[in-house]
Structure 1
């Protein structure tokens, strides 16, 4: 997987060395309140993060750890580009940031870079995102990225808004 740099950020392929940062971020109930996961069970949570990190994704896809260019030790979350539910056939984009990074444009800046990679390098025809209907911050990020609200769906018992964007011609 490639490394990306933006004006403020470095996006690195996520490794097991990032696990503790991910676990610390996810331990904030505000960060995970719209996401179904094993957040309350430390062992299952660690196993989940590690399995996602080591997932067998198509070439050029996976999770990127987002760090500050000014301080590369500063963990600012992650962005993913993977087959939906890890098996596809659609390709999804997603992001999670610690609260300290909210409202700063970091999610948009990082995800825009990964989205451009999906279209320009991987030639993905369409990217989707399913966002909890109460997660207005993530919906704003999706819209800033050019994703279009398509429909409401129920996934894992939660109402979600399905967004899509097609590769530019």
Structure 2
């Protein structure tokens, strides 16, 4: 298994997530505003820690996984993470997702961090399509999806929660 690549953007360092990021990820997830629209074990500390540890240590396949996002000028300032993993952790499709600390919201960091990940998905991995399932009321996340070139394709429901599915194909990258 090849290690995940590291990416640099104008303002950001996007590097493979590792156990050294555990505490920062846990702290971010403990902000109820950050996890407001995301299903997960956020209110059970033991389950939350086990879930996070498993997600950091799991190999999702060549070129797939999680990346931590940092400011280039302050490489110790954890902003959040971005993922490119098999849908629901098992596939066969590929999903993209992001989560940022509240202090990093509204600054374009999610869109900026997603750009090299999208390029990686289509150009390096040869993916035909990537999707993002976003809780219907999470307007900021739907805006990120649209800014990176994704389009709304359908509504869905999971565990009683309404989601909007966004998708992007390799052809969309050329026109985005």
Is 1:79 aligned with 2:85?
no
Q: Give the match for residue 9 of structure 2.
A: 6
Q: Secondary structure at the match of 1:92?
A: strand
Cα deviation code 1:89-132 (max 9, x no counterpart): 11000000000010000000001110110001000000000000
- The alpha carbon displacement at 1:55 in A equals 1.2
Q: Give the match for residue 44 of structure 1.
A: 47
Take 1:165 and 1:108, find their aligned partners in 2: how far apart are those partners?
Answer: 14
Take 1:129 and 1:55, find their aligned partners in 2: how far apart are those partners?
Answer: 20
Equivalent positions of 1:1-169 (< 5 A) are: 1-168=4-171
Unaligned runs of 5+ in 1: none
Cα deviation code 1:45-77 (max 9, x no counterpart): 111111011112110110000011010000000
Q: Matched residue pairs, number?
A: 169
Take 1:156 and 1:51, find their aligned partners in 2: how far apart are those partners?
Answer: 21
Take 1:132 and 1:18, find their aligned partners in 2: how far apart are those partners?
Answer: 25
Unaligned runs of 5+ in 2: none
* TM-score normalised by structure 2 residue count: 0.94
Take 1:77 and 1:156, find their aligned partners in 2: how far apart are those partners?
Answer: 25
* TM-score normalised by structure 1 residue count: 0.98
Take 1:167 and 1:58, find their aligned partners in 2: how far apart are those partners?
Answer: 20
Superposed CA RMSD in Å reads: 0.8
Deviating beyond 2 angstroms after TM superposition, the runs of 4 or more aligned structure 1 residues are none
Take 1:6 and 1:117, find their aligned partners in 2: how far apart are those partners?
Answer: 13
